[in-house]
Amino acid sequence: MAELFAKLNADLIAAMKARDELRLSVIRMMKSKVLYVNARGDLPEADVIKIVTKYGKDIKESIEEFKKVGRAVEVAQAEKELAIVQSYLPKELTPDEIKGLVQQAITETGAVSIKEMGNVMKAVLAKAPGADGKIVSQFVRELLK
């Protein structure tokens, strides 16, 4: 069982005991998303991180939509939820760190053209499962030109 999934289970119990409704709700949702992919929850750590990261992105998109329609209460609620989700994720890499990983992956895979972008992307995302794919893709395109 993945370490993050075990932490979610332990924190779920702690949130129940503390009667922290918001934290309990967010942890249940994260756990639900993991169990939807694999009913036993015995996924590799990288897959659990990807699932939780995707949930965080969904919340960010919700925040943007709420801001567009001027719903301040929902924005505040979603930002609290996002903070809880982010507390379970590894720290986000800076663009410089991502660029370094891309350069390293290019040398490891021996990629020389944009046709090998998929191999480079796979190598980078294997090392940093929580990295933003859009940023990684941007750097891979830039460095393989």
Spell out the domain ranges in the chain.
3-86, 95-143
Smallest CA-to-CA distance from 26 within 2, 46, 52, 61 is with 52
C-alpha span between 76 and 59 (Å, rounded): 12
Q: What is the residue-level pLDDT of the chain in tens, covering all 145 positions? A: 578 889 999 999 999 999 999 999 999 999 999 999 988 878 888 888 889 989 999 999 999 999 999 999 999 999 999 999 999 988 877 888 888 888 888 888 887 778 888 888 888 888 887 777 888 888 888 888 7
C-alpha span between 8 and 128 (Å, rounded): 20
C-alpha span between 132 and 125 (Å, rounded): 9
116 CA to centre of own chain: 24
CATH topology for the 3-86 domain: Hypothetical Protein Yqey; Chain: A; domain1 (1.10.1510)
Rounded to 10 deg, the angle between the 21-37 and 45-68 helix axes is: 120
Q: Are 130 and 89 in contact (CB under 8 A)?
A: yes
Residue 135 is encoded by which pair of tokens?
A: 């940023």
In CATH, the architecture of 95-143 is: Orthogonal Bundle (1.10)
